[in-house]
Structure 1
């Protein structure tokens, strides 16, 4: 696969320039602000019908109006709370027709210990299980598109932890917000690995993306600026704007050269190298492990089945 020609400084608008998405339909979760908003703006600007799937529909309507004011395509708003499986089921049930692009963008980071009604740890429940349920429920719509793409937003934080299958929800070990976030971001990559394998025959590609360290988003609301600066320094990276953060997302969602590429991890508008301990960036081996990906899929299905029975 050749280079994209884009860099860490490229913006979503630059990446989608010259691409015509007219007739395509996209869903972007958490699209009322930050990277999700800029992703939706770029997709709509290229002609796609974009649905902003958001918890706060009032904020979503304001975002949609702002996108539409720029002369973009049709922009819709629908309620979606990824920590609430009933909300996920309702969103999927209300969807009709094909779906060409699903961007699993929404997420929470470094939250205080919080559990969903099912007893699931909030970060894993929102960042992974909510998006897993959404994507699998929307799979028929993705397959109906003939050639569809799913983009799973991960993070460089995945380097810090694999998924601890023996205690995913921190029931037997002390809660650590950073490790909980890290394993949820590893889960986002493992989902891309297994979904990419399972759905290839349906023409659905699934890949994971690290958008970069981005200021001005709600994701970091539980962190102080000092903590953000420290994280950036330790990770060896600089902050991006939301428009730059959305660039890799939009690249993976639209680039013609990625039509049959699946199960990969991208950063800075290019497929990432394998992480070398002691260096920054890249993708960890534990995030691309096909056995772990298959195990996570089974665990996720079991969790959702237990929730339905409950």
Structure 2
């Protein structure tokens, strides 16, 4: 039998093109994705996967926005089989409640996609006392992965290994995780950009460690979606931060001189590739850019740092992974 030839993806590749290429890998799968609001890459990711998947579970903390997200997908794709799940990632209690609900679903979960992020917010503490970006982007995603691990493992077959995908960012190269601030947030040491970098480094470290800890039973991946104009970087608090680093110009519009911007369909492409491209099964923990494996910063791929972060996060969330 001849080997299947898959396309080579580029900067311009769209999520729909990736989904079409991996239609057979997506067919029959159940996928849970966080952060699916309209005008975000999560919604587009969910939409294109829903073309072929058995079930796509959409999550969000606001019931009205979650309903709009589902309506947008079904308006474009009436045959989509979707289910909504309320989850507030700034609250560990809410994560536990949502995980319990999802764990009661009759279906296994083949792919878990951590797309949600807090955005470039001013210093804020969550109800649990942790910095909001780290709590949403790392602590909540770690806890949700832990609690849904049995559902993921139930999807494993001889032909398929479940995957967990984190939407990271190339900004992870700026700095590794600050362990002091992870446990004890400090407003005097906080800047939105560096907090964002800490979180994105944490995702790369966690993805690699997931594969090692599970001995390959669950594969973890991270992606750089690109520079994209979405609802997160159009938020009021984010605009001055992005202006300060030059991503947005003085009028708050995308700087196309120094940055090459992707559309939302292009920005969602790499997530779909990380979730379903069979070619990356041999590289667990890989970091992807432009829908293919790329090189992550050394501080975010160091196994010793990853193990330290894993243990520290288990202590914070009060849950120990057991495979």
Q: Same fold (TM over 0.5)?
A: yes
Q: CA deviation at 1:76?
A: 1.1
Are residues 1:53 and 2:75 paired? Answer: no
Corresponding residue SS for 2:165? strand
TM-score, L = length of structure 2: 0.85
Q: Which residue of 2 aligns with 1:16?
A: 19
1:81-160 equivalences in 2 (<5 Å): 81-95=88-102, 96=105, 97-146=107-156, 147-160=161-174
Q: CA deviation at 1:250?
A: 0.3
Are residues 1:31 and 2:32 paired? Answer: no
Q: Which residue of 2 aligns with 1:7?
A: 10
Task: Report if aligned partners of 1:46, 1:72 keep a CA contact under 8 Å in 2.
Answer: no
Q: Which residue of 1 aligns with 2:71?
A: 65
Q: Which residue of 2 aligns with 1:162?
A: 176
**1:201–1:252: structure 2 CA closer, same or farther, 3 Å change rule?**
closer
Of 281, 285, 289, the residue aligned with 2:302 is 289
Return 5+ residue gaps in structure 2 as ranges: 249-254
What is the distance in 2 between the residues matched to 1:149 and 1:296?
20
Alpha-carbon displacement from aligned partner over 1:107-151 (angstroms, at most 9, x marks no partner)? 022211100122211111111001000011100100110121110
**1:37–1:172: structure 2 CA closer, same or farther, 3 Å change rule?**
closer
Alpha-carbon displacement from aligned partner over 1:227-274 (angstroms, at most 9, x marks no partner)? 18813769954111111110000011111222343111111111113x
Q: What is the aligned length?
A: 295
**1:300–1:4: structure 2 CA closer, same or farther, 3 Å change rule?**
farther
Q: Which residue of 2 aligns with 1:180?
A: 195
Task: Report if aligned partners of 1:107, 1:219 keep a CA contact under 8 Å in 2.
Answer: no
Q: CA deviation at 1:173?
A: 4.9
